[in-house]
Amino acid sequence: MIFSAIATQILARTTRLLDGRKRVEMTGRMYMRVIMPIGLFYSGSLVCSNLTYLYLSVPFIQMLKSISPVAVLVTGWVWGVASPSWTVLLQVLVIVFGVALASVGEIHFQWIGFWCQMSAVAFEAVRLVMTQVLLSGDQKMDPLVSLYYYAPVCAIMNFVLVYFTEIPTFDMDDFVRVGPTILLINASVAFLLNLASLFLIGKTSSLVLTLTGILKSILLVVAGVLVWGSPIGSLQLIGYSLATVGLFFYSVPFEAIQDFVAQIRKGLVSVSTPSS
């Protein structure tokens, strides 16, 4: 986020990409009630999700992460950015169950790891919904402008935490071994990923963003099997197939499916009926 903060500041002073910030009435009240919480929740999500890997196995972490769409959906309902729908909830639950089923594996359970991951899910859900409100509310802030405002908050929070936890054990040899080029590339990719996520939230919703993460996991599994010959168990196959079906029914309206089936039936009837 330090790179994102610096990059947006440079873009604001050297290009016109951030001219939209001049149309935003950024008051102290808005900054404290909207921008500051987004930055704090973002930092909380990053810290807690990374801490989880110290206590829990990766399969169990994936199982816990799979409830993120439900958390975002419920948070959106509470925030009033979406109307409650049992149909959408059922579709999301099918996706969540599929991912959880595919992630079943060796579980090393520790309560501290569990609560770290649950906190990360909660922080991320609130952060995503607040970002959606920021991008689609009265201000209709541009994605790049929103990153311009909350990236410094997140960067400062992360730096404070790193100062007390990482810097005391930092070894300069590790930095030399990785190299500044790799770090710069990673920072640039992370900046573009943050920007792409904001554009997606602005054009769709925070729920869609979390569901695309599940789609990414499915595509990675498929690529691993087809390209690298990675083994996949029957439980994983069933779980990801179920999640794929859930994603399909979420993205395609039921009425469109009914129309498609009706067209197929109509075509079959016309083919089977002999012409006179």
Q: List the chain domain ranges.
A: 2-253
- Phi and psi (nearest 5°) for 145? -70, -40
In the prediction, which pLDDT does 122 show?
92
Give pLDDT, residue 119: 93
Confidence at residue 207, expressed as pLDDT on a 0 to 100 scale: 77
Which residues of the chain are under the pLDDT cut of 50? 271, 276
- Tell me the backbone φ, ψ of residue 31, rounded to 5 degrees: -65, -40
- Please count the other Cβ atoms lying within 10 Å of the Cβ belonging to residue 51: 18
Distance set, CA 157 to CA 2, 43, 153, 243 (Å): 10, 6, 6, 35
CB 146 within 8 A of CB 12: no
pLDDT, position 29? 83
Task: Give the integer Cα–Cα distance in Å for 39 and 159.
Answer: 13
* Per-residue confidence (pLDDT) for residue 257, from 0 to 100: 59
State both tokens at 140.
């209709």
What span, in angstroms and rounded, lies between the C-alpha atoms of 94 and 69? Answer: 11
pLDDT tens digits along 14-48: 888 777 777 777 788 888 888 889 888 988 898 89
pTM strictly above 0.85? no
Task: Give the number of other CB atoms < 10 A from CB of residue 201.
Answer: 23
> What backbone phi and psi angles, to 5 degrees, belong to 141?
-70, 140
Give the C-alpha separation, 56 to 58, whole Å.
7
Q: What local confidence, expressed as pLDDT, does residue 120 receive? A: 92
